[in-house]
Amino acid sequence: MKKDLVLGAVVQVNEEEGVVVADGFGCCGRNEVLVEFDGGEIKGVKFTDLQPTGKVIKPRVDNGKCRGCIYWNGQECLRYTSARAGILFGDGNGAKRLPLRIYPHCQTEEGAH
């Protein structure tokens, strides 16, 4: 991964904003990075097709809003960390909500997905 594309980095791909996430299963090629877009789409994007914004998401946990989310471990949000893939393919600690919106919009979603 390029040095300015850390986990949680916000990028522009065409007109759409996305967030760099961990590629825990090696789905991307050598010249790609895994990007999550608002609405739940996740895909490999070539470095040449994206533009870093300089922002990095560091979610502020709201225990009331984050409770029940698969990425919340009771203290912090692990969505934009290397633990992401393990959480998605594990039991999610019994959590019922898998957010489709990117942070901070994920905190306003209702119900399980």
DSSP for 77-99, please give it: B-TTSTTHHHHHHS-GGG--B--
Cα separation, 108 vs 105, whole angstroms: 6
Alpha helices in 1-113 (DSSP H): 63-66, 84-89
3-state secondary structure of 11: strand
Q: Which domains does the chain have, with CATH numbers?
A: 9-56 (2.30.30), 63-108 (no CATH)
Tokens of 52: 């870093």
- Residue 112 pLDDT: 43
Q: pLDDT by residue (tens digit) across 55-83? A: 999 999 998 899 889 999 889 999 999 99
83 closest CA partner among 7, 29, 11, 2: 7
40 closest CA partner among 99, 102, 100, 107: 100
Which residues in the chain show pLDDT less than 70?
Answer: 1-4, 91-93, 110-113
Q: Read off the pTM.
A: 0.86
